Amino acid sequence: MKKKSMLDLHRVDVEQYKAVEKIPVAVVLDDVRSEMNVGSVFRTADAFVIERIALCGITATPPKHEIHKTALGAEDSVAWTYHKTALEAVEQLREQGYKICAIEQVHGSVSLEEFPIAKGEKYAIVFGNEVKGVSQAVVDASDCCIEIPQQGTKHSLNIACSAAIVMWHFFNALKL
């Protein structure tokens, strides 16, 4: 087998990407402290044609070297906004018709594999701080909480890993 070239992959440039139809998913980062995690989320959002990212609170915003190092330019292709708080972001997204889904381990959460994703709906998926998770205020304001099933000794995944799993799941259900 031979590795595919960039021509084989039929990739578009940044301007063409901006015109590509996106899946109706917004990612909200609630006080994510690692710029490398932020960059990874941008890169994954680009791969799965996520509509936009809301960077909130202490979450770093481009341009930053560490974001670029992992985003590899996706910070230029994926639309993003900054909000003082994640609660502010989810309230705005709710007003725009998004269903707010915190990705968090809570009593009454729905397993990702059982969460019903409906075409025609818009979703905002909220990822939290590397240590504290999604803030309780945002959990309280969410329409639902989704949990990634796990069985190991650790109780959580890195936020970039969690975001990749969840974005792929939504992309797989909503791809055009």
HEC states along 78-115?
CEEEEECCHHHHHHHHHHCCEEEEEECCCCCCEEHHHC
User: 3-state class of 39 per DSSP?
Assistant: helix
**Could you tell me if residue 57 is inside a domain?**
yes
- pLDDT-derived band of residue 5, with 50, 70 and 90 as boundaries? confident
State pLDDT tens for residues 118-170.
999 999 999 999 999 999 999 999 999 999 999 999 888 999 999 999 999 99
pLDDT at residue number 9: 86
**Could you tell me if residue 73 is inside a domain?**
yes
The CA-based angle 15-21-26, given to 5 degrees, is 100
d(CA 89, CA 82): 8
**Could you tell me if residue 54 is inside a domain?**
yes
Nearest to 78, CA basis, from 36, 48, 113, 106: 48
**Higher confidence at residue 45 or residue 175?**
45
- pLDDT-derived band of residue 7, with 50, 70 and 90 as boundaries? confident
**Could you tell me if residue 11 is inside a domain?**
no
Residue 167 contacts residue 25 (beta carbons within 8 Å)? yes
Q: What percent of the chain has pLDDT over 70?
A: 99
- pLDDT-derived band of residue 87, with 50, 70 and 90 as boundaries? very high
**Could you tell me if residue 15 is inside a domain?**
no
Residue 113 has pLDDT above 90, yes or no: yes
Boundaries of domain holding 164: 21-174
CATH of the domain at 118: 3.40.1280.10
d(CA 161, CA 37): 9
Residue 83 contacts residue 32 (beta carbons within 8 Å)? no
Number of domains in the chain: 1
In this prediction, residues 47-67 reach a mean pLDDT of: 97
**Could you tell me if residue 16 is inside a domain?**
no
**Could you tell me if residue 51 is inside a domain?**
yes
**Could you tell me if residue 2 is inside a domain?**
no
In this prediction, residues 52-59 reach a mean pLDDT of: 98
In this prediction, residues 94-106 reach a mean pLDDT of: 98
Backbone CA torsion sign across 28, 30, 31, 32? negative
